[in-house]
Amino acid sequence: MGRGEREVVARGARLHEAALAVVADHGRAVEAARAALKPLHDAAVARELGAIPVARLQDVTEGRLRLGSVEKSGLRTVGSVLDAGPYRLRQIPGVGQRTVDQMLAAARRLSEAVHETVAVHVDVDRPEPRTTALVMALHVLVEAGPEARRAVDQATGLAERLGPLLVDARPAAGRVRMLLAGREKRARAEEAVAGVRALVDEAERAGLPELFAQASVDLLRGVSSDVAAWVDFELRSAEYYSLLAEISGRQPDAAAAEGFLPDEIAERVRTQHLDDTHRRISLRGYQAFGARFALAQRKVILGDEMGLGKTIQAIAVLAHLAAEGQSHFVVVCPASVLVNWTREIEARSTLRVMVLHGPDRHDAFADWKGRGGVAVTTFDALRGFPAPGGGEVGLLVVDEAHHVKNPKAKRSQSVALWAERCARGLFMTGTPMENRVGEFRNLVRMLDGTVADSLGERDALAGSVAFRKAVAPVYLRRNQEDVLTELPSLQQTDAWEELSASDEEAYREAVRAGNFMAMRRAAYVRPETSAKLHRLREIVQEAGENGQKTVVFSYFKDVLGVVEEALAAGTPGATPVFGPLTGGVPAQRRQEIVDAFAGAEGPAVLLGQIQAAGVGLNMQAASVVVLCEPQIKPTLEHQAVARAHRMGQVRPVQVHRLLATGGVDERMVKMLETKARLFDAYARRSAVAEATPDAVDVSDTELARRIVEEEQARLGMTDERPMTTE
C-alpha cells in the first residue's frame, strides 16, 4: 500500500465527512422549524380544547360521568379540566377520586385527538413574533429547495455505503499500520480501498461533492431579515405549507391522498421511482403520488380539484422522463393558459420550452423536432402538425381535457390521434366527471379502450366509490378537503393571457390616444373576442362545477358590466350572478347583495368594483377571487382579497389575477414588484398604513406616465398624444 491508496482513503474520508455534514445541517434546519412550530401548535391545541364544552366528556365515557357539579364550579371546557388537574378536581363537592380519574382520562383522549388533527395557519396580515420565527425557520428550507433534499438523500445513501468501507480501509491510511495488520485485515483493507475508490470516483462524476457543499451553504445561510422571509412566504406560500405539513407529521389520510385507488394499483404507484434532477420545486406527498401514478400507469386522467397543483404534477412527470433520456414532449392546452404553461415550465424545471402558436408555429415546430424540449401548443394549432411516429414523443399532456370530450369535434379527433401515437399520455381536468359517464368514457377511450368499454352508466349510479374503482387504472382525483391537512389559506395565481387580434387593436388605439385607463381595460372592449373574458368564464365555470362561490373585482364599472353580460349569457341554469357592487350602491344595499350571495345555495358569482366592494364587507362565502386587471395601488388588491380571505373562511382562497402579456399589465406588475411594492407589503400592516394606504402606495400619476411613454415607444408611437387618465 502506497501513497495512492492513502490518498484514496483521505478522499473517501473527506467525502464521508461532507455527506454527514449536509445531513446534520439539514437535520438542524428541520429541528429549528419544529421548535418554532411547537408553541404555535400548542397554542392552537389550547384554543381548541378551550372551545370544547365539558359535556363532550360524556360522549367519550358513554355517559358514565356526572358533570353538573364540575360545570357549576366554573370548569366549563375540556381545556379548563386539564388545567385544573387532579387536586383541584377532587376539591369539587360530590366529585370522588374515581370520577376524577375517568374525567382526566377522557379529557386526555380528547386532547390527544386534537393534537393529531389541529393545524397551524399562518396569518400574513397579522404577523407576530412566534409566526415570524416559524416563517423564518421554514424560509431556510424553502430557499435550499429540492436540491438540498436531493443532496441529503444522496448523502445518506453514500454515508451508509462509505462508512463501513472506511473502517475496513483504516489500516491503509498509514504504512506502519498496514505492516502491523494481519493478513486477513490487509486483504480486507485492500478490498475496501478499491470500494472506496469506486464510490469516490462515482460520486465525483455525479458532482456530489459540489452538491453537498452548496446544500450546506444554503442550509446555514439563514435569513437576511424577517421582512424578506414574509415576502417570500407570500410569493411561495404553497411550498411553505408543504414543508409545514411534512414537519408537523400530520400528513393527509393515505387512502384519500391516493384517490382511494385499489390496493394493487396504489402499491404499484408507490414503488414507482420519481427523479427530481430537472425539477426546481418540492412536491407535497399527494402531488408526488399523482406524478408517480402518471408514470406507472402510462396513460391517465388526472382529475384533481382546482387548486391542488395539477400543472406541477405534470411538470414533475416531464422532468422525470427527461432524466430518463426522453427528449421531446408536447403540452396541448387552451390558448388562454398557453403563457401560463410556458412560464410554469420555465420556473419549475430546467426543461427547454418552445411555444408552437401564432404565424411562426410551423417554423417553431421544425425547431422543436430538431432540438427537442417541451412544445406548448393549442388544440387548434395541434391539428396543423403531423402526428408523431411511435416513441417519438415521450409524453403528451392535455390540459383542460374536457374540451375534447366530443368525439365528433376535429380538435378531439386530433388529440385522439396524437394520444394513440404517444406511449404516454396525461390528460388533466378539474371538472368532476363522476356523473358524466358518457363524456368521461369518450376521454378514457383515447387512453384505454378496454377500460372505456367496461365503463357503464350503472357505475355512476352506484356512487363515486364504485365509479373510481371502475376507472382506477386511468383516473385519479383528490379533493382539497381530503389532502390539504395544513391548508394554505391563500393561493395566488397570475393568469397570463395573450391578447386576441381585436384586443390588440383596441389596446393600440388606447396607447395612441395616451389614455392610461383605456389601456388598462382594452382587453374587455370587444367581449366577443376577449381573451381575458374567455379565461374568466373558464374560472367561474370550473369553480361552479366544484360547488364554489366566486367574487370578481375590477376597478372599472364598464368592465363589470361586460363581465355581467358575459356570465348572464351562459346556458340555462348557469351560475347566478349578484351585483355589481359599485360606489353608487348605498352601503345598506351593498350588504343586502352580499347577504343574498352568501345565502344562495350552491355556486354563485358576486361582482364588485374594487374600490367600493374591497373595503368593509365580509365575503367569506367565496373561495375563488378573480381580479380583472392589476391595480395601481397594491393595497386595493390586498384589501379586496381580504374580504374573502379572513377569519371564518373554511376553505383556502384561490386568487386569479388576469394579466395580458407584453403591455400595460406586464409593465405594472414589474414596476409594482420593485422595492416600492415590497415596502408597501409590510408597511400596510402598521396602524398608520391601514388608516392611510395612500401614504405607502406608489404614485398613480408617475407610474401611469412612465407606462404610457414606454408603451408608445415600444409600439412606435412616440409622436402621439400625451398621457390622459380619464
DSSP bridge pairs for 373? 328
Contact 151, 22 (CB under 8 A): yes
Distance spanning both ends of the chain, measured CA to CA: 86
Question: In one letter, which amino acid is 481?
Answer: E
Spell out a b/e string for 477-505, using b for 16 or more CB atoms within 10 Å of the CB, else e.
bbebebbbbbbbbbbbebbbbbbbebbbe
Alpha-carbon gap, residue 334 to 381, rounded angstroms: 10
* CATH topology agreement for domains 251-483 and 490-714: yes
CATH architecture of 490-714: 3-Layer(aba) Sandwich (3.40)
Rounded (5°) CA angle 472-439-406: 130
Which ranges in 206-337 belong to alpha helices (H)?
208-220, 226-235, 237-248, 254-257, 263-270, 285-297, 310-323
* Total length of the chain: 726
Provide the grid cell at 68: 353538573
> Any idea which residue has 420550452 for its cell?
353
Report the 10 Å Cβ neighbour count for 63.
9
Question: 3-state class of 634 per DSSP?
Answer: helix
Alpha-carbon gap, residue 186 to 512, rounded angstroms: 86
358 dihedral zone (left: phi>0; alpha: psi -120 to 50; beta): left
pLDDT at position 645 is 54
pLDDT at position 721 is 64
Question: 3-state class of 373 per DSSP?
Answer: strand
**pLDDT mean by block of 10 residues, the chain; 726 residues:** 78 94 95 94 91 81 72 88 90 86 88 83 80 93 88 94 89 60 74 91 93 93 84 78 80 78 93 92 88 97 85 96 97 84 91 94 96 96 92 94 91 96 93 69 92 70 62 88 63 87 94 93 94 93 88 94 87 77 80 84 91 60 89 73 53 86 89 51 35 43 84 81 61
pLDDT at position 292 is 96
Whole-Å CA distances, 637 to 517, 553, 614, 621: 17, 9, 8, 18
What's the per-residue H, E or C state across 243-277?
A: HHHHHHCCCCCHHHHCCCCCHHHHHHHHCCCCCCC
Which among 483, 430, 485, 491 is positioned nearest to 652, based on CA atoms? 491
pLDDT at position 692 is 37
Spell out a b/e string for 442-459, using b for 16 or more CB atoms within 10 Å of the CB, else e.
bbbbbbbeebbeebeeeb
Neighbour-count burial of 15, counting CB atoms closer than 10 A to its CB (0-12 exposed, 13-18 middle, 19+ buried): buried
Peptide bond into 603 cis (omega under 30): no
pLDDT at position 644 is 63
Spell out a b/e string for 177-208, using b for 16 or more CB atoms within 10 Å of the CB, else e.
ebeebeeebbebbbebbebbbebbeebeeeeb
Contact 462, 253 (CB under 8 A): no
CATH architecture of 251-483: 3-Layer(aba) Sandwich (3.40)
Provide the grid cell at 227: 421582512
Alpha-carbon gap, residue 46 to 60, rounded angstroms: 19
Contact 430, 303 (CB under 8 A): yes
Rounded to 10 degrees, the C-alpha dihedral 676/677/678/681 comes to 130
Which among 594, 539, 538, 537 is positioned nearest to 569, based on CA atoms? 537
> Any idea which residue has 411534512 for its cell?
246
Domain boundaries, the chain: 1-250, 251-483, 490-714
Residue 328 phi, psi (nearest 5): -125, 130
Which among 216, 212, 214, 232 is positioned nearest to 224, based on CA atoms? 232
Whether pTM > 0.75 for this model: the answer is no
Alpha-carbon gap, residue 499 to 504, rounded angstroms: 6
